[in-house]
Copies of this chain bind each other. A is one copy, B any other.
Amino acid sequence: MRIGKQDQAQTAIATSDADSITVRGRDLCGDLIGKLDFTTYFWLLVTGREPDERQRAMMDACLISIAEHGLVPSVQAARMTLAAAPEAWQGAMSAGLLGMGSVVAGSSEIAGRYIVEVLQDSRDKGISLDDAAVQSLEALKAQKKKVPGLGHPQHSSGDPRANRLLDIADELGVTGDHIRTLRVLAEHAPKIINRPLPINVSGAIPATILDAGWPVEALKAVPLLARTAGLAAHLFEESQRSIGFIMSHHADLAISYDGEGAQTADHKTA
């Protein structure tokens, strides 16, 4: 049984024969290994073109900004998984990456699509970015939805990583319509939504990397690659000095049983 309509049986990424491996038209051994840095290769792999210096620098900055943020839920999931299944680093790494969903690290992708939508709306309707932003924010307010890319539970006066990324984009001359759209949104949002809404890192990453020329459909690759590096650090540390079950123990203690037959005094033992 063949599922769906898929009629182009091609790939443009790599091919090989007995003597050589070709990646994006280049000879892997002759042209790439030892010639490029990994960030440049990542850009080439995904887009098919080598990045210029500004693109590479912007990608490095984005990757570094979100690779590591301590014992966040996905890191805990990965470390608990390694503690329980030390035979499979790949499984623990996957348990960590599976938490890069719409709520946490995957929010970069959602914010990127939102920025693109507001920008496109301004172009399609022939209205100013300010008008497009205000209309969009009012619609979100009416639906009681969050504004993607703005606001932070911890850094209400501004997410330092976001500000740093935007400064770098300005310095590199990368700043373009996506960053401008995000800044216009951030300017109008507090008045409309009625609370502090600084640009957060999930807004700054897509805005800066889209302006650098990265495709919107590949946005999710940026937090996924970045976090793989952070998770690697945690899995190595877990293999040397395990905290997976300590964390799990304390997490368990924080929750009480209120199901059928629960007593007034919780009888959970440590």
Contact = CB atoms under 8 A, between A and B. Distances in A.
Interface of A: 1-4, 6, 8-26, 28-29, 32-34, 36-39, 41-42, 45-46, 48, 57, 59-61, 63-65, 67-74, 76-77, 80-81, 83-95, 97-106, 109, 153-155, 160-161, 163-165, 167-168, 215, 217-218, 220-221, 224-226, 228-230, 232-237, 239-262, 266-270
A37 B60 contact: yes
Given A34-B164, A36-B60, 18 more contacts: A1-B72, A4-B103, A6-B243, A15-B268, A22-B257, A22-B261, A28-B64, A28-B65, A28-B160, A38-B59, A45-B230, A74-B80, A80-B99, A81-B101, A90-B106, A94-B94, A218-B236, A249-B254
B63 A41 contact: yes
Contacts of A241: 8, 10
Nearest to A254: B250
Contacts of A257: 10-12, 14-15, 22
Nearest to A224: B93
Given A87-B102, A91-B94, A74 B70 contact: no
Contacts of A234: 11, 13
Contacts of A72: 1, 248
Contacts of A225: 225, 228-229, 232
A168 B34 contact: yes
A236 B217 contact: yes
Contact of A33 (B9, B69, B74, B165): B165
A3 B45 contact: no
A239 to B, nearest CB: 5
A72 B76 CA distance: 13
A233 B103 CA distance: 21
A268 to B, nearest CB: 6
The residue in A73, A100, A254 that gathers the most chain B C-beta atoms within 10 A of its C-beta is A73
A267 B254 CA distance: 22
Given A38-B39, A63-B38, A90-B97, A248 B248 contact: no
A6 B26 CA distance: 32
